[in-house]
Structure 1
């Protein structure tokens, strides 16, 4: 997997991605502490609204920016996005009101909604060989999961010697370093898309998803991922602290189990994709997610003691592994169903549509978790996931062609 880092352009961009991820991880922790300082017991409401604003920015901004900046060279677009993110992070330590957090988070996430799809769409032009590209996707997935484990540990170590507001300086440094690496990297030339109207550019990615069977299936798979991830992100802390009456450390352990499952699959999936088609791997992962969540509901309802705890750890591990079976190969579908000129619009559409699913499942997980309990919530999310599985199978038949006709 690490052999792709021998490509000098990809190696530098992967370094930029790591630094930006680390900065984002520190930002997440510092933002939570800032919200608590400003809002006290209402910090959860502040963070919940900030998370909603983040998702709205991802859904609304990505396709618009892709259309507006369709003919803008990738390098200044990436550097500009990092510069905006660094500027916002620089302002956050001076925030004194909750509304200021909301404005800055919208600006920050809008910049991320510009950077991430443009960055992802660039990689296939750097690594046109599908075998190498698959290993790059695996490495990227591993980096995301590793960041979720490393950032809290780094933040905990830093907070022993600095204040939490100083963590924002680490975020600024991460984004500036990312921009510097992109500036020093010689990116491959990419022909701009043919000149067309704004509405045509805005809807190009969505039209590709509607017309191509693989991409229609991917849209349904996004719903499967969102159903399970919502349960993990929204309700893990409630499950561990309230239902199981365990410690903060156990919350971290349960989230780490999910991340560990994802990382192990990310490390091994290139070999699987050498032997099996994407369809089989991704649909196996999609089928496993609702089954794991059903098992989780059963253990929550009828389990007890240490057996219940270890059972849930194993189920969270399994859900992380199954999610990675979908997430890691997904960009291969986007790459196959696009060319150099349409790829930014297709990646932006995936970025927007996948996060739109979370706008549905996050409120469902939170609201139902507080009203009908976690086992019942898990079963409702299972039904959502099964709907996605059925639609993905119906949309993606074995003999579907993959040439883009949009």
Structure 2
């Protein structure tokens, strides 16, 4: 898997991704502390609104900015997005009101909604070989999972030596370093798409999704993955500290177990996809997630003590593994279902549609969980996941699995 880092362009872009992820992780910690400084006991409300703004920006902005920059080369788009994120991050230490946080978070996440799909759409052109691209997807999944573990530990270590305001400086450095690495990378030549009306450019990705049965099926699995992610992200702390009366360290352990399951699958995915079709692998994860959430409801309702804790840790490990089984190969479908010119729009549509699922599942997991209890909300998420699996199956059942795209010749570096 590490062998693909011998490709100098991909090595620089992957390094840029890791550094930007670490910067974003530091930003999340610092933002929570800033919210507490400004709002005190209402910091949770400030963070909740800020995270909602983040999701709204992801859903609404990605297709718009992709349409606006569709005729620009990807390199200046990525550099501009990184510099925009650095500019917002450097402003955050001077914030004194909650509304200022909301505006800056919208601007920062709008830049991220421009950077991420553009970055993801470039990688298939940098790594035209299917096997190398699959290994790159696994590395990317590992990067996301490791960031969720490393960033809080790094922030905790830095906070023993400095004020949290300095964490924003770390974020700025991360985005600037990412921009420098993008500048240093030699991008393959990617022809601009044919000129079209703005509305056509805006809807190109969504229309590609809807006309492709394979990509329509991916929309259902996006919803299934969002049910499990919402249960884990929103309710792990409630489950561990509220229901089980365990410590904050156990919250971290449970979240780490979920991440470990995801990383385990990411490591084995390239070999798995050498022998099995990606859709079969993804659908197995989609079927497993509602079953695991159903078992979560039963474990919470009918077990107690050490057996309950141990069983939940195992379930969280399996939830992470099943979620990664869906997410890691998903970009292979996007690559296969789009031309090089249409790829940014298709990746932007996936970015937008997948985050739209979180706008459904996060409120379900949070609001209904507090009203109805965790077993009941787990059952609601199970029903939601079953709907997603059914939608995917109805689109994939009679659709032959396409032959993997032929390996393309290496492209001229510019």
Q: Taking structure 2 as the reference length, what is the TM-score of the superposition?
A: 0.96
Aligned counterpart, 1:372: 372
1:200-259 Cα shifts (integer Å, max 9, x gaps): 101100011101111000001000011111111111111111111111111111110110
Contact 2:50 2:105 in 1 (8 A): yes
Offset of residue 38 of structure 1: 1.1
CA-based RMSD of the aligned residues comes to 1.2
Alpha-carbon distance between aligned partners in 1 of 2:165 and 2:237, rounded to the nearest angstrom: 24
Aligned counterpart, 2:348: 348
User: Which consecutive unaligned segments of at least 5 residues does structure 1 have?
Assistant: none
Offset of residue 400 of structure 1: 2.9
Matches within 5 A, 1:6-405: 6-397=6-397, 399-400=399-400, 402=402
Offset of residue 310 of structure 1: 1.2
1:360-395 Cα shifts (integer Å, max 9, x gaps): 111111111110001100000000001001111111
Contact 2:214 2:399 in 1 (8 A): no
Offset of residue 100 of structure 1: 0.7
Contact 1:213 1:400 in 2 (8 A): no
Offset of residue 302 of structure 1: 1.3
Alpha-carbon distance between aligned partners in 2 of 1:137 and 1:100, rounded to the nearest angstrom: 36
1:279-307 Cα shifts (integer Å, max 9, x gaps): 11000000110111111111111111111
Contact 1:75 1:182 in 2 (8 A): yes
Q: Taking structure 1 as the reference length, what is the TM-score of the superposition?
A: 0.98
Structure 1 ranges of 4+ moved more than 6 A: none
Offset of residue 399 of structure 1: 4.3
Alpha-carbon distance between aligned partners in 1 of 2:401 and 2:153, rounded to the nearest angstrom: 46
SS at match of 2:328: helix
For the structure 1 residues 347 and 86, does the alpha-carbon distance in structure 2 shift closer, same or farther, using more than 3 Å as the test? same
Offset of residue 401 of structure 1: 6.0
